[in-house]
Amino acid sequence: MNCGEQPFLPHEPAYIEQHGLFNQVPYITGVTKRESASFVTEKMMSQASYWQDINNDLEQVVPVTLGLAKGSQKSKEVAQKVKSFYFGNKTISYENRELWISLQTDLLFVTGVIQTVHTHANHSASKTYNYQFVYGHSGHAMELIFVLYNGKMQGESSNSVKIARIVGGLWTSFAKTGVPSVEGVAAWKPVTSNGSYPYLEISLSPVLKYNLEKEHMDFWENIYNEYGN
Q: First-to-last CA distance in the chain?
A: 33
Place 4 in a pLDDT band, splitting at 50, 70 and 90: confident
Cα–Cα dist 198/51, whole Å = 36
Q: Is residue 154 predicted with pLDDT exceeding 70? A: no
Average pLDDT, the chain: 92
Q: Is residue 160 predicted with pLDDT exceeding 90? A: no
User: DSSP secondary-structure letter at 191?
Assistant: B
Q: Beta partners for 208?
A: 200
% of the chain at pLDDT higher than 70: 95
H/E element, 161: helix 159-177
User: How high is the pLDDT of residue 158?
Assistant: 83
Which amino acid does the sequence have at 144?
Answer: L
Q: Is residue 55 predicted with pLDDT exceeding 80? A: yes
Helices (H), ranges, 32-134: 42-45, 48-56, 73-87, 97-105, 111-123
User: How high is the pLDDT of residue 155?
Assistant: 64
User: How high is the pLDDT of residue 149?
Assistant: 64
User: How high is the pLDDT of residue 62?
Assistant: 97
Ranges 50-64, 150-164, 176-190, 200-214: which has the least confidence: 150-164
User: How high is the pLDDT of residue 60?
Assistant: 95
Q: Is residue 151 predicted with pLDDT exceeding 90? A: no
What residues contact residue 19 under an 8 Å CB cut-off, 6+ apart?
11, 123
User: How high is the pLDDT of residue 2?
Assistant: 60
Helices (H), ranges, 4-72: 13-18, 42-45, 48-56
pLDDT in tens, 12-44: 988 999 999 999 999 999 999 999 999 999 999
Task: Give me the numbers of helices (H) and strands (E) for the chain, helices first please.
Answer: 9, 4
Q: Is residue 1 predicted with pLDDT exceeding 60? A: no
User: How high is the pLDDT of residue 153?
Assistant: 58
Cα–Cα dist 157/168, whole Å = 16
SS3 state at 216: helix
pLDDT in tens, 182-191: 999 989 999 9
Please tell me the CATH superfamily of domain 25-227, with its number: Alpha/Beta hydrolase fold, catalytic domain (3.40.50.1820)
pLDDT in tens, 72-96: 999 999 999 999 999 999 999 999 9
CA distances from 84 to 9, 38, 90, 98 (A): 40, 25, 9, 15
Q: Is residue 152 predicted with pLDDT exceeding 70? A: no
